[in-house]
Amino acid sequence: MDTNKCTGREDDTYRSSGGEGSIKVCEPEVVQSIVLHPTSYLEQAVPKREANLPRLLCDWMGILVNINLNGTNNLETKLADWTADIKEKFKEYNPEKVFMFDDCYGQRGAAILVFKDGWQGLEDGQAFQQSFAECGRGRKEWFNADRPANLDLYGWQVNEEDVTADLGKLTEHLTTISYEITWHNEFSILHNSLKRIEAFLDAVEESIKEMKQQHRRDLQEMRLQAQAKEISLTIKLRMLERCYPVRR
């Protein structure tokens, strides 16, 4: 906003390079500040939280689809080559394993990237998914019925919905390993429980051992104290016998 207003007053003291002249002098005008009254933040609409979000599968994995396999003569060799290429291409997400699958026509391929265990693998998987979501090539776009045919790669992090999705051989593989993961998790829980029980029993055994050792030390100390008292009493008794002979 222009805060100056021209008053139209002429200044006769102004001289230009071409001679005397006059200009109009602009004086500042007081501008009233505009006070905005935004709606209270408590009255603003809050985005609703999605309920029952699909759970992620562990081990942490990513799915890569729409891999172009056209022109491939030896499909098995090509899949092996693609496995190494994909692992190298997505190395910033630290995939430990890559599994390749082809469709029934051998024209399109899909891959599963297995990330590391623990928090690092989870962060790698989420970053992998976010990178595709930001450019509009995530899970939602891939399963969109109006998706145009293209050669772009689509990717996302594996969750429980992918076990029943229509992804051909990749879905079959996920179904198999999901059961293995379930059994592995159950075994891990039981194994950890047994380890805790074993640790508790070891602690109890160690405590009993320490109590026995302490008991032996206490008995030995009591014997020594009793012997010391016995010696002291014997000495006193002999001294008394010398001072006061006992009449028999």
pTM of the model: 0.52
pLDDT computed for residue 244 by the predictor: 65
pLDDT computed for residue 7 by the predictor: 46
User: Which of 189 and 65 is assigned the larger pLDDT?
Assistant: 65
Which residue type occupies 54?
A: P
| Joined tokens for residue 184 | 């592995």
Contact 151, 113 (CB under 8 A): no
Assess whether pLDDT exceeds 60 at residue 52: yes
Beta strands in the chain (DSSP E): 4-11, 15-16, 19-20, 23-28, 61-68, 97-102, 108-114, 154-157
CATH of domain 61-183: 3.30.70.2890
Angstrom distance (rounded) from CA 66 to CA 52: 29
What does the mean pLDDT of the chain come to? 77
Task: Work out the pLDDT band at 114, boundaries 50, 70, 90.
Answer: very high
Q: What are phi and psi of 11, to 5 degrees?
A: -110, 110
The Cβ of residue 131 has, within 10 Å, a number of other Cβ atoms equal to 16
Burial class (CB in 10 A: 0-12, 13-18, 19+), 69: middle
pLDDT computed for residue 124 by the predictor: 95
Assess whether pLDDT exceeds 60 at residue 29: no
pLDDT computed for residue 26 by the predictor: 47
With CA atoms as reference, report the closest residue to 172 among 126, 104, 85, 124.
104
Angstrom distance (rounded) from CA 92 to CA 48: 33
pLDDT computed for residue 11 by the predictor: 47
pLDDT computed for residue 4 by the predictor: 47
Assess whether pLDDT exceeds 60 at residue 30: no
pLDDT computed for residue 167 by the predictor: 84
Residue range 182-207: mean pLDDT, rounded = 78
70-111 pLDDT tens trace: 765 566 666 777 888 899 999 999 999 999 888 655 567 899
Assess whether pLDDT exceeds 80 at residue 149: yes
pLDDT computed for residue 118 by the predictor: 85
β-sheet bridge partners, residue 61:
114
